[in-house]
Amino acid sequence: MFRDIELAFIKLHILHHAGQDEVYGLGLIDELKRHGYKLSPGTLYPTLAKMEKGGLLVSETRTVNHKQRKYYYITAVGVKQLKKVKEKIRELYEEVYENK
Ligand SMILES: [Zn+2]
**The predicted structure's pLDDT at residue 5:** 93
Give the distance (Å) from ligand 1 centre to CA of residue 57. Answer: 16
- Full residue range of the structural domain in which residue 16 is found: 3-98
Question: How many domains does the structure of the chain reveal?
Answer: 1
How do residues 37-64 score in pLDDT, each as one tens digit? 989 999 999 999 999 999 999 999 999 8
High-pLDDT (> 90) share of the chain, %: 90
- What is the whole-number distance in angstroms between the Cα of residue 31 and the centre of ligand 1? 6
Side-chain-side CA neighbours of residue 55 (13 Å): 4
Confidence bin at 1 (pLDDT 50/70/90)? confident
Q: Looking at residues 59-84, what average pLDDT do you find?
A: 95
* Mean pLDDT rounded to a whole number for the chain: 95
Side-chain-side CA neighbours of 63 within 13 Å: the count stands at 1
- Residue 32: its pLDDT value, please? 95
Ion ligand 1: residues, CB < 5 A: 13
d(CA 4, CA 70) in angstroms, rounded, equals: 25
Model pTM above 0.85: yes
Q: How many angstroms is it from 32 CA to the middle of ligand 1?
A: 6
How many Å lie between the centroid of ligand 1 and the Cα of residue 9?
Answer: 9
Answer whether 92's CB lies under 8 Å from 42's CB: no
Q: How far is the CA of 30 from the centre of ligand 1 (A)?
A: 10
* pLDDT reported for residue 64: 84
Q: What is the CATH number of the domain that holds 43?
A: 1.10.10.10
DSSP 33: H
Does pLDDT of 86 surpass 90? Answer: yes
